[in-house]
Amino acid sequence: MNVSTNPPSAPRLAESTENVPQILDAKAETNHIEIVKEKLNALHDGRQVQLKSSLDKLSLFECLSTFKRSVIICALAGFAAATDGYQHQMSANIIANKGFVQEFSKGRGKLDATWVSTFGGLYSAGQVIGQFFIPFASDFLGRKGSMYVFMGVLTISVIVESVSSVWWHWTLAKLIAGVGIGSVQATLPVYINEHAPSQIRGVLIVAYSLWFSLGGLMSSVALKVRSDSHPLDYKTSIYTQFGMLGLSMIIFVFLPESPWWLVSKGKLDKARNVLVKKFQNIPEYDIDGELAIIAATIERQRQWDREAAAEGSWAIFKGLNGKRFLIGSWPKVLQQFVGLSVFSSYSAYFFSLAGNKDAFLVTVILGCCSLASVILDALLVDKIGRRRMTLIGFSGACFGVTLMAIIGCFDYANAQLGSVLVFAGVTANFFNTFQSSTSYAYLAEMPEQRFRAKATGWGLAYCNLYAIMFNFTVPLMLKKWVVKTAFLFSCLGIPGTILAFFIMPESMGRSPAEIHEMFVDGVPLRKWRGYKTHVETDLDARLDI
């Protein structure tokens, strides 16, 4: 059976193999170089080329047991998200600490609402800065190099927090922390995506969100415990961030570089060494063949970009690449539209305004809720798929914020409606978090490999442009409208979820080559699930032989 992996819409290339060296290291003279070169030559000649691994046919549980080292690498990388979540939640909710309020308000008893909005707004602005610039470090220094960059920025932010004594000190610390945390969010999902097998990519990206939620819960518990025992001591809670940073740095030292990045830079020997360390104990794993699949996938994407004139500094926003960018970033944008700023940045502040006397206890409840949601996400993301997770998550979040808005029209300060208000907040937070890891999967899976770092970082930056707006305006709206502020997110979230129904595809279990093919062939976005790609048909033919 002779099946071409070149999509019907892409004409056969007549290029010479002069373009091949752009992803080959000319100094290398080993056998795997010849295997890769042979596959690239075949690709340029328009011949049939394998672009999907035979091990992609393994079931979910077979994949988990076979690729143990990949699972460990992704889980350890995801642990750094605990640092991200811990620091994010700490800086967001410590503003409700009595000692913090006393110190920074200079005895006035409460923080100025303008200061609070500035803290949140500049934190989000810092995230945008980090998410915009870290992809350049990620593409130039590698995924590990960018890890060392953002760890340095996070360490500086904690130092500034530790010596802060006036509101503008804390504003500066929030800006630096935003840069660091934004860089983490733009780097780790890409790293995990490039190390994870296709069948369990969703589960392993969930590990990022799982650690993020666990880190946030640890922070909420630490603030609660310290608030109960030493209500005026907020510095100790800040110092605990150094321990999280130190542990993450130790882990990063031992993590391998991404083989996809190494191949894209022509470092085939180093890429092969990474694959050997990860897969040498798997008898069925053809290391040289898999290395060639990575190289051919990257080159096939470059071929299409040349054909479509999608090259240059801003190619990520041109034509089909622009469509892929917008689709990948939409779930993250929609998170902002259903009230992420309320539940993430201002949960303690929000519930204290709403009449809950123990705001930190509510944040602990929300933290437990987020952790449970991510665990459920991990169990389902590679079974029911990204699209269904996204639609279920945002539908539930819209229900929660709408219920909150309705309660805001009544006397929610009494015990009965106060409990319903907390339930509505927990529901909205649960479903918002339920699809959060799926949002990272879309960011990392939708773009082609050479745009993966930029598309992830810039997609998050695009999302955080909305976060900047909401972080400046939400505290002011909370001060004036309190719970009725949820009406805004209900009115934004419901239309956004309806739009998601029409534009979000199903990428569960798909290889990068398959995702690229379906975009190029114009497969309707709602019909990706169950679609038989040319790449998959070719693999079936090879296995039959």
The answer, yes or no, to whether residue 262 has pLDDT greater than 90, is yes
For residues 146-171, average pLDDT: 89
The answer, yes or no, to whether residue 204 has pLDDT greater than 90, is no
By the 8 A CB rule, do 266 and 295 touch? no
For residues 225-229, average pLDDT: 80
Q: Cα–Cα distances in Å, from 427 out to 86, 372, 373, 422, 470?
A: 22, 12, 10, 8, 21
pLDDT in tens, 296-348: 988 888 888 887 766 766 888 888 899 999 999 999 999 999 988 776 666 66
Spatial distance between the Cα atoms of 355 and 160, rounded to a whole number of angstroms: 32
Cα-to-chain-centroid distance, residue 368: 20
Torsional class of 468: left (φ above 0), alpha (ψ -120 to 50), beta (otherwise): alpha
10 Å CB burial of residue 42 (0-12, 13-18, 19+) is middle
CB atoms within 10 A of CB 74: 28
For residues 374-395, average pLDDT: 89
pLDDT in tens, 19-70: 444 454 444 445 878 888 887 888 777 777 878 888 888 888 888 888 999 9
By the 8 A CB rule, do 393 and 453 touch? no
Q: Cα–Cα distances in Å, from 306 out to 124, 183, 263, 268?
A: 36, 30, 19, 23
What is residue 14's predicted lDDT score, i.e. its pLDDT? 35
Spatial distance between the Cα atoms of 338 and 398, rounded to a whole number of angstroms: 6
Nearest CA to 329 among 444, 428, 437?
444
User: Hey, where are the domains in the chain?
Assistant: 57-255, 319-509
The answer to whether 57-255 and 319-509 have equal CATH topology is: yes
10 Å CB burial of residue 192 (0-12, 13-18, 19+) is buried
Residue 540 structure tokens: 């079936």
The conformation of residue 13, written as its DSSP 8-state character, comes to P
Residue 290 structure tokens: 């898999």
What is residue 382's predicted lDDT score, i.e. its pLDDT? 85
Residue 241 structure tokens: 């961030």
Domain 319-509 bears CATH identifier 3.40.50.280: no
The conformation of residue 345, written as its DSSP 8-state character, comes to I
Residues 6 or more apart whose CB falls under 8 angstroms from that of 219 comprise 85, 86, 87, 88, 89, 90, 93, 367
For residues 381-398, average pLDDT: 92
84 pLDDT tier (thresholds 50, 70, 90): confident
For residues 492, 432, 138, 44, the Cα torsion angle rounded to the nearest 10 degrees is -80
pLDDT in tens, 266-288: 899 999 999 998 888 888 888 88
Nearest CA to 244 among 232, 252, 256, 235?
252
For residues 292-298, average pLDDT: 90
What is residue 345's predicted lDDT score, i.e. its pLDDT? 62
Report the topology of domain 57-255.
Growth Hormone; Chain: A; (1.20.1250)
Spatial distance between the Cα atoms of 48 and 53, rounded to a whole number of angstroms: 15
The conformation of residue 342, written as its DSSP 8-state character, comes to I
CB atoms within 10 A of CB 307: 13
CB atoms within 10 A of CB 352: 18
By the 8 A CB rule, do 226 and 233 touch? yes
By the 8 A CB rule, do 305 and 424 touch? no
Cα-to-chain-centroid distance, residue 234: 30
By the 8 A CB rule, do 62 and 382 touch? no
17 pLDDT tier (thresholds 50, 70, 90): very low
Longest CA–CA span in the chain (Å) reads: 80
Cα Rg of the chain (Å, integer):
24
Task: Please list the alpha-helical segments (H only) found in 435-533.
Answer: 436-445, 452-481, 486-503, 512-520
Spatial distance between the Cα atoms of 534 and 517, rounded to a whole number of angstroms: 8
What is residue 398's predicted lDDT score, i.e. its pLDDT? 96
Angle, CA 336 vertex, CA 213 and CA 317 arms, to 5°: 110
By the 8 A CB rule, do 397 and 476 touch? no
Residue with more model confidence, 192 or 90: 192
For residues 394-404, average pLDDT: 94
Specify which of 37-51, 106-120, 224-238, 452-466 reaches the highest per-range mean pLDDT. 452-466
Region of poorest pLDDT, from 205-209, 387-391, 398-402, 423-427: 205-209
The answer, yes or no, to whether residue 260 has pLDDT greater than 90, is yes
